[in-house]
Amino acid sequence: MEYRSGSMDRIFMLRFDDGEDFLEKLREVVIKENIRSGWLHVLGGIKEAGVVTGPREPTMPPDPVWKELSDSHEMLGGGSIFWDGEEPKIHLHAALGLHGDTLTGCVRKNTKTFLVLEVIIFEISGINASRPWFAKGGFNRLTFS
């Protein structure tokens, strides 16, 4: 384990409307505002998403199991923002519910908002961290400088 101490800096409140590409628009804000380190909470609805629901087996690097959502789901999630060089890396896990059934996983691609998604980003300052590729694990891993 490693850790660092920092402070909360700017706070951003975002609203995504029906049909918007949630992850792409979020990425655009992160780049525009140059949010280098942050934590986010997500609340609302999503009607499409590519979600990793876990590894096929507990090995490194993992072989991800994908689930494609194509119906409206309630969404409650939390994640982080760190960069790999000049590219922001958003790591978002969420519980996605439909009619009492819940799917939990890492939301990664093809995200379309259903009705509305509300997001709050807490920017973190005073921590020199990034998310470079971790070859042994097969993923981008939080790394402190």
Q: Give the pairing of strands 139-140 and 133-134.
A: antiparallel
pLDDT tens per residue across span 31-66:
999 999 999 999 999 999 999 999 999 999 999 999
Residue appearing with tokens 């990793």: 52
Residue 47 is predicted with a pLDDT of: 98
Distance CA 126, CA 8 (A): 9
Residue 59 is predicted with a pLDDT of: 93
Residue 113 is predicted with a pLDDT of: 98
Q: What is the mean pLDDT of each run of 10 residues along the chain (145 residues)?
A: 96 98 98 98 98 96 96 97 97 97 97 98 97 95 95
Write phi, then psi, for 26 (nearest 5 degrees).
-60, -45
Residue 73 is predicted with a pLDDT of: 98
- Which residue from 118, 90, 111 is spatially nearest to 47, judged by alpha carbons? 111
Supply the pTM of this predicted model: 0.94
Domains of the chain: residue spans and CATH: 8-144 (3.30.1330.80)
Residue 4 is predicted with a pLDDT of: 95
